[in-house]
Amino acid sequence: MIKKIKGTQDILPEETPRWVALEGLIRETMIRYNFHELRTPIFEQTQLFARGIGQLTDIVSKEMYTFLDRGKKQLTLKPEMTAPIMRAYLENKLYARSPLNKLFYIAPLFRQENPQAGRLRQFHQYGAETLGTTDANADAEIIDLAWTIFQRIGLKNLTLRLNSVGCPQCRADYKRKLQDYIRPNLDKYCADCQRRFETNPLRILDCKNPTCSALNQNAPKLVDHLCDDCRVHYEQVKDRLHKLGIPFKEDPYLVRGLDYYTRTVFEITSENLGAQNAICGGGRYDLLARELDGVDTPAVGFAAGMERLLMVMEQQGITLAEKPRLDVFLAPLGDLARQECITWAHKIRALGLITEMDLLGRSIKAQMREANRQQARFVLILGENELQKQEFTVKIMDKSEQLTVAFDQILDFLQMAAKEN
């Protein structure tokens, strides 16, 4: 039998209500903050990610699903949304319509990682991006939005970590200082860090290898080497978060796994997740538009992983959605009754009631069992006798009551009775 691909998931019918409810809460909150949904294609030219995210990042160098199409074009299933959003913004000249664009998305993404709990090869993110301003209030608004969604869900025990990775000017200076600090012990660092030493030494600060993190303990901090503009910006972001009452921890060694960041970076982690504890990450990326040969567009955004979020919700006992209860179960007995019932089902559904009818020709006993399993509120029995009299036998399941209702009364009856219960 053909099986699903490792690291992918089927979202089964009993799970979809949780997804739909979560997506509803996300959309509703995004709209309150006046963000507008943008949807982009599942695949893009590989170059978009190679240039946007950075050739040397794990995502681009190891994790992308890249293939040649029949026309020998190199394409990639999107591993993240920030670069596609920026491409769509530039290509559609959204900047010409408005100097500020606030965009959001909910989308499936693809990364060929080693699958484990909370780490999938196809996963889902929601996120928001503000394009067109360097204002620190935009950074604060993005973090407020990310935080507020978690608050509205009712999540507890979250940590927001914040840092500034400066701009290319202050970073160049800092890189040299960091390399001077690491160089004497370079041979003790892991192979990945040694490889990153020349090309991307900042990522060494992020290494989870215990030896490397011990060696990094007294490394110089970028926040101590920010240029004046970047320092003022960072102070403003922190000030706004204080004003918003959003608790955060400064983490001078927080560097994110994508190369486009400038200034603000942040991550939100949950105590309920193991090694893959980040449910949300984001930051400012003022140079990405230029990197993609577009008009200069400073921007800031975040994205959160929906599978990880749903895991935390489950562990904290948070349910946003109950499976909706069946209102009416139509129980026909015999072919003639079934023919009659299909049109009744249509009419009852038109009242807005969730309605099911037996399609398997089951016995009345088996149909009653099914109605109970689906917790139906009303069962409408249509046997030979009822057909002759043009009426239904109605069982009001919560009250264990039974009565007969004529065909020409049934819609009014159900409409009234459904409201009462």
Residue range at the interface with ligand HAM (CB under 6 A); choices 18-26, 100-108, 279-287, 389-397? 279-287
Which residues in the 68-127 window bind ligand HAM by CB under 6 A? Answer: 80-82, 111, 113, 118-120, 123, 125, 127
**Contact call for residue 308 and ligand HAM (CB under 6 A):** yes
Nearest approach, Cβ of 361 to ligand HAM (angstroms)? 45
Under the binding rule (CB under 6 A), the answer on residue 370 touching ligand HAM is no
Residues in region 258-277 near ligand HAM by CB under 6 A: 258
Q: Check binding of 229 to ligand HAM (CB under 6 A).
A: no
Q: Could you give the CA distance from residue 358 to residue 340 in angstroms, rounded to a whole number?
A: 12
- The separation between the first and the last C-alpha atoms of the chain, rounded to the nearest angstrom, is 46
Q: Closest approach of Cβ 212 to ligand HAM, in Å?
A: 20
Name the 3-class secondary structure at 115.
Answer: coil
Kindly tell me which of 216 and 264 has the beta carbon lying closer to ligand HAM. Answer: 264
Q: Contact 193/209 with Cβ under 8 angstroms?
A: yes
Decide if 358 contacts 333 (C-beta within 8 A).
no
Tell me the CA distances in angstroms from 164 to 64, 223, 261, 276, 327, one per residue in order: 27, 6, 9, 22, 54
Count the site residues for ligand HAM by CB under 6 A.
Answer: 27
**Binding of ligand HAM at residue 279 (CB under 6 A)?**
yes
Contact stretch for ligand HAM (CB under 6 A) within 38-46, 93-101, 297-305, 354-362 = 297-305
Task: For the CB of residue 325, give the shortest distance to ligand HAM in the complex, in Å.
Answer: 32
Read off the DSSP letter of residue 5. P
Q: How far is the CB of 197 from ligand HAM (least distance, A)?
A: 23
- Structure tokens belonging to residue 386: 């009822």
DSSP structural state of residue 119 = B
Both structure tokens of 138: 């935009």
Shortest Cβ 191–ligand HAM spacing (Å) = 22
Rounded to a whole number of angstroms, the minimum distance from the CB of residue 302 to ligand HAM is 5
Q: How far is the CB of 243 from ligand HAM (least distance, A)?
A: 22
Q: Which residues contact 290 (CB under 8 A, 6 or more apart)?
A: 296
Interior/surface letters 301-331, b for 16+ CB within 10 angstroms, e for the rest: bbbbbbbbbbbbbeeeeeebeeeeebbbbbb
Q: Does 44 bind ligand HAM (CB under 6 A)?
A: no
Nearer to ligand HAM by C-beta: 279 or 320? 279
Candidate residues 54, 132, 201, 301; the one interacting with ligand HAM per rule CB under 6 A: 301
Q: How far is the CB of 50 from ligand HAM (least distance, A)?
A: 15
Integer Cα distance of 211 and 30 in angstroms: 41
Residue 166 lies near ligand HAM (rule: CB under 6 A): no
Alpha carbon 66 to its chain centroid, in Å, reads 23
Closest C-alpha among 217, 237, 212, 227 to residue 172 = 227
CA-derived radius of gyration, the chain: 28
Residue 144 as a binder of ligand HAM (CB under 6 A): the answer is no
The answer to the question of residue 54 lying near ligand HAM (CB under 6 A) is no
With tokens 């998305």, the residue in question is 105
CA distance 211 to 202: 16
- Closer of 304 and 394 to ligand HAM (Cβ): 304
> Would you give the distance in Å from CA 373 to the centre of its chain?
32
Closer Cβ to ligand HAM, 119 or 175, answer by number? 119
Nearer of residues 190 and 278 to ligand HAM, judged by Cβ: 278
In angstroms, give the least distance from the CB of 107 to ligand HAM.
11
- Within 13 A of 62's CA, how many CA atoms are on the CB side? 8
Residue type, 386: E
Q: What string marks each residue from 124 to 143 as x (binds ligand HAM by CB under 6 A) or -?
A: -x-x-x--------------
What the block records as the tokens of 292 is 């993609």
* 65 makes contact with ligand HAM (CB under 6 A): no
Pick 257 or 383: Cβ nearer ligand HAM:
257
Query: Measured at CB, which residue is nearest to ligand HAM?
Result: 305
**Which residues, listed in sequence order, are joined to residue 267 by a DSSP beta bridge?**
161, 281
Site residues (vs ligand HAM, CB under 6 A): 80-82, 111, 113, 118-120, 123, 125, 127, 129, 257-258, 278-283, 301-305, 307-308
